[in-house]
Structure 1
Amino acid sequence: MKKTTFYNSMKRKSVLFFAMTFIFSMSFAQNSYTIKFQDETIDIPENISTFQWSQMPESSKLEEGYYGWVQFYETPTQDIQNAFKSRNLELINYIPQKTYLFYFPETTSVSFLAQSGVRGIIGVPGTVKLSTALQNPPYEDYAIDGSNILVTLQHYKNVNTQYVINELAAKQISVVEQYDNSNNLLLSIPNNCLTDLSNLPFVKWVELITAPSIKDDTRGRSLHRSSNLDTQTTAGRNYTGEGIGVLVRDDGRVGPHIDFEGRLTNLTGVTGQSHGDGVAGIMSGAGNLNPDNRGMAAGATTYAVNYIASFLDSLTLGLINDGDVQITNSSYSNGCNDGYTTVTQTVDTQTKDIPTLLHVFSAGNSNGSNCGYGAGSQWGNITGGHKQGKNVIATANVFFDGSLVTSSSRGPAHDGRIKPDISANGQNQISTNENNTYQTFGGTSGAAPGIAGVSAQLYQAYGELNGGDFPQSALIKATLMNTANEAGNIGPDYKFGYGIVNGLRAAQLIEDGRYLSDDISQGEANTHTINVPAGTTQVRFMTYWSDTPAAPSANPALVNDLDMVVTDPASGAHLPYILDPTPNATTLDLPATNGVDRLNNVEQVVINNPAAGAYDVDISGFNVPFGPQEYFIVYEIITENLTLTYPNGGESFTPFGAQSLHWDAINTTEDFDLEYSTDNGTTWSAITTVAGTVTNYAWSVPNEVGSQVKVRITSGAFQDESDDVFHIARYPAVLQYDMVCPTEATVSWNAIDDAESYDVYTLGEKYMEVITTTTTEEAIIPITDVNEPIWFAVVAKNATEGWASRRSIAKLHAGGLLNCNLGLEESVLSEGIVLYPNPASDQVMVSTKNNAFETLNVSIINSLGQKLFTNTFTNVSGTNPIAVDVSSYATGMYFMTIESDGVATTKKLVVQ
């Protein structure tokens, strides 16, 4: 992605900023070179003045160089980092306290290291290569393989994997699984070889295998403001995620379901599971069957694969590496509060290597579980190492009204970082299921695809403004967090993250270009000036960077540490929100304060009722051991205290139906009065009054058909109403097929009072499309194949009064003739075919009585319209019948279609 420079942004040195940075740095600096890594305390000696390579242990030497830990007096500048690279001195991972894991050639000049600020060098102790869990048996059953232990071994990247496998085999250690293009191996090892294994020179890290995978089981669209991005009107936004690839990593095939017509690629053969169907429907269902059940990104190209905990499966890697997929969703847990694991490192690395890739995860449903953070069962129970990633999104679960679901896992992350990142509605969602049905779906499993789907809408919004380019996921994540609706405590917290997603404000930020990017190196400082207009009620500044992956088990996991300070026009300095991660239940529930952040790769400053003028956003590279580091600044300028977001114009509601009214409120204190109008705002009728802390209301739509309806909300001096009118109208609910013939079908529906016409829809390439318009309650639909399923739906309209109903639920005809008046030749075929036995259990015979046919095309379709069998038979007669095997079919009703010379007939077949 190209860097963006704005006329109101400048880069300069700030004396005030340097002074403040020095004070903060001194206040938070650690005065010791002592390293705490897992349960180990390691003091690296100040030995550079006497160091020789011969002092390194044999376990550190491999080929023509050494692995070890190198500690500097100060974090090396970018010039020193570059000098190391130019000499092939590899700084592999950053360890806290100015220390790196390194690989240096044995010819490396010690004097050069000393001149570059190196304090000391040691070999890597074998114990710090073993995870804490691995060092503390007994182990869970999932990690036991007979008398062996199942572990993940990570070898150094510059070591050939086959060499590692051969060396392990010589020590009777078997490789259970090898991953393509990865330095991770799954091993089965004897319990008594851990020490020897950790001291092998090519071994970088060993941990217990990932815990077993566990599933984290239209009100959401309006809560997320996704409906404002996908208005399905000519005047509104129409961000459907078109052109964006989304990936469902779950429990098998998705569908069949017409809500994914023409947009779904299943890359798994597993059937009969419904979890992935629920995830997919929330993320990208089109609502073809029932428009009320439309998902977030109804135009996204959707792929489905099985969930593999390593994130190194060939299907996932192929899709993200080839650019087919930009956003993945995984609503699975693997353990609880697992820390920074090899899997965490993998997902952070993938995002760092492919900047446009966004991984979205559920936070988990394990609140109530004590996962060892130290504050009891209500804190620190985010499930799975992958969710602890710095560059990914972990999603909390809220009800459609924005209240937190009790089971939703809470932070902090293992090292005190803010997790979850953001919240979305997952509970009690209606989503797709197999075979063109729907299911009630819930948990953070449903919240995560809400975020993934809104992200796809934002990807499209960015692309339309930038020549079709994809945005960096860092920009999208920052935008989502900085524009989220406040929830829970003021500022970020360990329950909701940065709040509940607000897709509309996020899209407006992208549309208005309220973002910039730059980079920074160790010890540098940048200043960006942003103008805040008069009348602003709240301004939010956020700095976010996709951080360098940490070493497994790193604590803290933050590598590159940037600082943000915002200076207002009166020279007042504003520090970002911080939370206290002390493992105490009371402390973790306290509201955010302001200070210096040493844990997170995101910092936010929020100023209420800001003075107009130029604000300096100062960014410093406090500790950038792997630079230069690119970062994004996104800023949200909110000028309205009260904004009604749903309904906002163009919607069509049904009398007596339930609709959720939503609004954004900033710096309001009084109760909210809700009203509606049926005459475009001339007169208003009261709905209700709700407390000033509420931002939504479940409205029972009145029985007043019309096209000039609006909703208004008032809080003290603040007021807002729908931007345009919406409709209240009944829709045809009783649809039927009257006749289906080889080339056309006759359909009908119940009459709607005052309707002047009806639009008739059939399923097109991807969506339900208008096929004809009629003034009666009947229509003829052209068809191309009588044996294929047919779907139709209807919208009632009154052009005089200007209203249109919502589209009806689609009606299915599974295929085959229905009440069709056959001609003479068709009658001969229909009457000349006999099925026996019928009901059948093993096979059914197809006889043509006294007639003979040169060819017969035979197909069997189930009641869901799925074709199970098709074949062509020759020289069929009464003495030469056809035998069709149905022994594998489930008990039920089927339809057998027999066609010859363009003439077809359909017979019912019962399998018992």
Structure 2
Amino acid sequence: MATFAQKRFETIKVAPGCLSYTHTIRVKILDFKAFSQWCTQYLPQKKIKQLYPNIAQISNACHQTIDKLATCPQVLFIDRGKLPAKTELSFDSRGVWLNKISAVHQRYPQFNGDGLFVSVREDPFNKTDIDFAGRIADTANVGKTVDTHASIIASVIAGGGNSSSSALGVAWKAQLYSSGFRNGLAPDNGNTLMRQKAYVQNHSYGVGAIENYYGIEAEAYDQHGIDFPQLLHVFSIGNFGNQTATAAHTKYNIKGFANLSGQFKVAKNVLTVGEIDTNSVVTTLSSRGPAYDGRIKPELVAYGGGNGSSESAAIVSGIGLLAQQAYQNKKGQIPPAALLKAVLINAADDLGRTGIDFEYGFGSVDALGTIKTLEDNRYFTETLAATNDSKTFKITVPAHAQHLKVTLVWHDPAAKAGNTKALVNDLDLSVKKVGTSTIWKPWTLNIFAHADSLKLPAERGEDHLNNIEQVTLSFPAAGTYEISVKAFNLTVANQRFSLAYEYPTDFEWVYPLQNDVLQAAHTRRLQWNWHKVAEPGKLEYKLANSNTWQLIAQLNDLSKEYHHWAVPNLFAPIQIRLTAHSGFSFTSDPFQVMAGLAPNVGYDCPQALMLFWSPLPGVSSYQVYKMGVKYLEPIAQVQDTLIVINKSTHSSKYFAVAPFIDDTAVRWGNTINTDFKGIKCYFKSFLATPGFNDTTHLQLTLATDYRLRNIALQRSNRSGEGFKTIANTPPRGALYTFSDASPLAYRNIYRVALTNASGKTFYSDEVEVLVVAQNEFFMYPNPTRLNQPIVVTDRRNEIEKVRILNLVGKVLQQYVPNGSDQKELFTDGLATGVYLVELILKDGSRKTKRLVIK
């Protein structure tokens, strides 16, 4: 059993005495029945609740309670109570090009998540979102309360791109499960996840506070990784990057370090992901490592939209699904999560200090490099039986490789909650060039508890803390290399491990590619893989049908591998050329630059829907889409910029439009929901100008005048009478103003009748206008209801006082009314019945009105 110093959760600040300061705590135990019996004897006043087979909860625990629990032979670890999950994303801002996801979509279109499942662990996402249509695997756990954060995360991972071409998720054909927090923050039932075939689970939440220790949940997730070795858990690292851990359970009380937002993220057999911005710089909010015992956290970073690490984790979860699919296509099964981690980490682009660090971990996730590693079979899996057992693997590195990178990952047995060091089985990685005596050790970091030490660059050495080790060599000599993995110390026998390696050699253009569309007048990131020594160069662009190149930028270092370009406001296919000072040159395939294109509703009638859109120069035809069961489906190709859709044939309310360019429909812009456009069979609005005048004024706004023949203003003085046309006008655009110089006294009801070229008539909603002569007073509503105010029109502002009387003349209320041409009268305190309202005018005269209250 752990000692009390190990068991006690040190960050709980307990004041002396049971009644002065209490907490809810969790206790890891050997046997609940025996523990309950012990508590009955030694803690009879405490309420004990069993959370899980070996986890109990105690309410109102104080310093004395904790001290007493430390003497219990059943107690293994004392932890703080369950904290609520806090999401770690503030807004959605896609950047699938930055982590090379769009390159995978184009070069490996077969990898899209089809047939795979992902579990999104947080509150329910929006099951009616069209980007998830037909792909929610089980709606039972998708509750009525919709969490916007969960919807964004699910969309980043597996959105279908139906709402917009920019809303395409990483694994956009994967199916989605929603998983909440019914188990608190403990892992979900692994057998359930296996039955669901959900081998990736995303966790974009924390506990709203810094937690950096190996507690109950950390142990549980590490055990989960052992029990379900194919299941990959991906966590956001947290949003406390500029804060300081103040708890006594960590030695790293250093501003800007060791500020993970949940003990479950300290686990060894999960992936934690930090956030970088569009310049590949870790954001201020993104939490940093090290873990409490000096281990590397986060393992990866990814672009996250600029205000939280939630979306960064979702990006990695999506790439994990693509990698699972690539492996499954070749091997017929889901890969071990340790192998998946090895490939993801090994393919990552190194950022920050060379090698590894506590801000970027092993680098920025690279979707294209991950898939290439699996497609090229650049990985190994093996098992070490006992301490000092070793395995050696030979690889051949070609000439002109930019680097050789090798990563070792193993799922380590769970440590005991409260252990000062999490690593149980210790493996060692080394790389040697055959025919030489040179051996390269993995990168290690200084873990001394001082900011200057934690910022030091990585050095080569033996790593006895992490279950991830990495060796890199810059510009290695061509030849054969030996990768060795040795069991330095195995507490648990038969340790399985995974290796991944890469040696990139050739220049590679990453974004944009041939089928990409750059939005005009927006800044977009141009990307390439340089894989050469650093040197200056330049970027240029030209129209695809031109020979004139225009400068984008002079670059000091092409090995930076990106440039942010303010895309010109044009509609054309263009090409980009990268030229190095050494003479190397690359010209991209043509790709399209254009502004967004979205349809508008002209009319939405019971039988037909008319859509129209702005023409694009040089485009002679357009593709119209409707929402299908899962994705947008083409319904018509038109040579005009409008279409009339038969609603009995196409009943969808979601539509999109794409131009045909070189016989290919180029999808761009937003999908519209016709229900939200507010168009009712041509009409956008029909409104009366407020005020009491002798002439009424009305304004009509149409969505379109397409195929209209006549527009008529009609009037009725009461709803039971028919309407009469009082004005006609031919169609001449969208906005119309009508005046009625001879309205009826008091109540006037107006409507507009539209007649189309086929002779069919469409009517607007009715508008009521009250007309009162200057010398008259009109009171409404009358009859009225209990306690409902009424209004008296007073166009000349003559009313000075108001008295309300009963039928025998007794004054019930008397006051000066508010308002000018419309004065408000109050009926508060009056009962149902008939009353007299006496209006006392400024000249002393009086007017009496009859009021009925129902």
The normalised TM-score by structure 1 is: 0.69
Q: Deviations over 1:386-420 (max 9, x none)?
A: 11111111111111221221121111110000111
Shift of 1:651: 1.1
Verify the 8 A CA contact 1:532 1:614 in the aligned structure 2: yes
Show the counterpart of 1:819: 681
Q: Deviations over 1:434-474 (max 9, x none)?
A: xxxxxxxx31122111111121221222222222x211111
The SS at the match of 1:586 is helix
Q: Does 1:455 align with 2:455?
A: no
The SS at the match of 1:343 is helix
Residue 9 of structure 2: which of 131, 153, 172 is its match? 131
Q: Does 1:585 align with 2:451?
A: yes
Q: Does 1:360 align with 2:252?
A: no
Residue 272 of structure 2: which of 364, 374, 394 is its match? 394
Sort the Cα spacing of 1:636 and 1:309 in 2 relative to 1 into closer, same or farther, 3 A: farther
Sort the Cα spacing of 1:480 and 1:719 in 2 relative to 1 into closer, same or farther, 3 A: farther
Sort the Cα spacing of 1:803 and 1:768 in 2 relative to 1 into closer, same or farther, 3 A: closer
Verify the 8 A CA contact 1:179 1:312 in the aligned structure 2: no
Question: Percent of aligned positions with the same letter in both sequences?
Answer: 27
Q: Does 1:425 align with 2:287?
A: no
Sort the Cα spacing of 1:783 and 1:350 in 2 relative to 1 into closer, same or farther, 3 A: farther
CA–CA separation in structure 1 for the residues paired with 2:279 and 2:369: 18
Aligned length: 670
Residue 328 of structure 1: which of 186, 190, 201 is its match? 201
Shift of 1:338: 2.5
CA–CA separation in structure 2 for the residues paired with 1:147 and 1:652: 61
Q: Does 1:225 align with 2:103?
A: no
Shift of 1:147: 6.2
Show the counterpart of 1:792: 655
Verify the 8 A CA contact 2:121 2:181 in the aligned structure 1: yes
CA–CA separation in structure 2 for the residues paired with 1:177 and 1:216: 30
| Higher CA-based Rg | 2
More divergent stretch after superposition (265-274 vs 379-388): 265-274
CA–CA separation in structure 1 for the residues paired with 2:388 and 2:257: 36
More divergent stretch after superposition (729-738 vs 445-454): 729-738
Q: Does 1:779 align with 2:643?
A: yes
The SS at the match of 1:329 is strand
Residue 670 of structure 2: which of 788, 809, 821 is its match? 809
Verify the 8 A CA contact 1:731 1:805 in the aligned structure 2: no
Shift of 1:730: 4.8
CA RMSD between the two structures: 3.1
Shift of 1:249: 1.9
Show the counterpart of 1:554: 419
Residue 214 of structure 2: which of 334, 340, 355 is its match? 340
Verify the 8 A CA contact 1:714 1:720 in the aligned structure 2: yes
Q: Deviations over 1:833-872 (max 9, x none)?
A: x99xxxxxxxxxxxxxxxxxxxxxxxxxxxxxxxxxxxxx
Q: Which amino acid aligns with 1:209?
A: G
Show the counterpart of 1:603: 469
Residue 562 of structure 2: which of 671, 696, 710 is its match? 696
Residue 262 of structure 2: which of 352, 374, 384 is its match? 384
Residue 633 of structure 2: which of 753, 758, 769 is its match? 769
Shift of 1:687: 1.0
CA–CA separation in structure 2 for the residues paired with 1:718 and 1:305: 55
CA–CA separation in structure 2 for the residues paired with 1:456 and 1:208: 34
Q: Does 1:511 align with 2:375?
A: yes
Q: Which amino acid aligns with 1:306?
A: G
CA–CA separation in structure 1 for the residues paired with 2:504 and 2:390: 28
Verify the 8 A CA contact 1:760 1:792 in the aligned structure 2: yes
Q: Which amino acid aligns with 1:333?
A: G
CA–CA separation in structure 2 for the residues paired with 1:450 and 1:236: 17
Q: Deviations over 1:319-342 (max 9, x none)?
A: 424243221222222232421111
Q: Which amino acid aligns with 1:793?
A: A
Residue 55 of structure 2: which of 178, 181, 184 is its match? 184
Q: Does 1:150 align with 2:28?
A: no
Verify the 8 A CA contact 2:349 2:366 in the aligned structure 1: yes
The SS at the match of 1:478 is helix
Q: Which amino acid aligns with 2:473?
A: I
Verify the 8 A CA contact 2:38 2:72 in the aligned structure 1: no
Show the counterpart of 2:813: none
Sort the Cα spacing of 1:145 and 1:595 in 2 relative to 1 into closer, same or farther, 3 A: farther
Q: Which amino acid aligns with 1:514?
A: R
Verify the 8 A CA contact 2:540 2:577 in the aligned structure 1: yes
Verify the 8 A CA contact 2:256 2:288 in the aligned structure 1: yes
Q: Does 1:194 align with 2:66?
A: yes
The normalised TM-score by structure 2 is: 0.73
Show the counterpart of 2:539: 674
Verify the 8 A CA contact 1:681 1:710 in the aligned structure 2: no
Q: Which amino acid aligns with 1:504?
A: L
Q: Deviations over 1:591-648 (max 9, x none)?
A: 11101101111111111121222111111100110121100110012112x4321012
Q: Which amino acid aligns with 1:193?
A: T
Show the counterpart of 2:402: 537
Shift of 1:216: 1.8
CA–CA separation in structure 2 for the residues paired with 1:359 and 1:617: 28
Show the counterpart of 2:85: 213
Q: Does 1:276 align with 2:142?
A: no
CA–CA separation in structure 2 for the residues paired with 1:523 and 1:696: 45
Verify the 8 A CA contact 1:213 1:309 in the aligned structure 2: no
Residue 601 of structure 2: which of 706, 711, 736 is its match? 736
CA–CA separation in structure 1 for the residues paired with 2:365 and 2:242: 25
Which ranges in structure 1 are unaligned for 5 or more consecutive residues? 1-67, 69-123, 429-441, 822-833, 836-912
1:699-710 equivalences under 5 Å are: 699-707=565-573, 709-710=574-575
Q: Which amino acid aligns with 1:617?
A: I
Sort the Cα spacing of 1:657 and 1:817 in 2 relative to 1 into closer, same or farther, 3 A: closer
Q: Deviations over 1:747-804 (max 9, x none)?
A: 3323222212111111111111212212222334454599x751111111143xx565
Q: Does 1:686 align with 2:563?
A: no
Q: Which amino acid aligns with 1:245?
A: F
Verify the 8 A CA contact 1:478 1:543 in the aligned structure 2: yes
Residue 747 of structure 1: which of 592, 599, 611 is its match? 611
The SS at the match of 1:814 is helix
Q: Which amino acid aligns with 2:95?
A: G
Q: Does 1:612 align with 2:612?
A: no
The SS at the match of 2:312 is helix
Verify the 8 A CA contact 1:307 1:330 in the aligned structure 2: no
Shift of 1:557: 0.7
Q: Does 1:563 align with 2:443?
A: no
Q: Which has the higher contact order (CA 8 A, sep 6+)?
A: 1
CA–CA separation in structure 2 for the residues paired with 1:537 and 1:682: 33
Q: Deviations over 1:272-311 (max 9, x none)?
A: 5422222222222222111123222222212223346844
Q: Which amino acid aligns with 1:341?
A: G
Shift of 1:703: 4.6
Q: Which amino acid aligns with 1:488?
A: G
CA–CA separation in structure 2 for the residues paired with 1:803 and 1:404: 39
The SS at the match of 2:503 is strand
Residue 442 of structure 2: which of 570, 573, 576 is its match? 576
Q: Does 1:260 align with 2:132?
A: yes
CA–CA separation in structure 2 for the residues paired with 1:347 and 1:672: 48
Sort the Cα spacing of 1:464 and 1:741 in 2 relative to 1 into closer, same or farther, 3 A: farther
Sort the Cα spacing of 1:132 and 1:544 in 2 relative to 1 into closer, same or farther, 3 A: same
Shift of 1:820: 9.8
CA–CA separation in structure 2 for the residues paired with 1:661 and 1:711: 9
Which ranges in structure 2 are unaligned for 5 or more consecutive residues? 684-718, 721-854
The SS at the match of 1:509 is helix
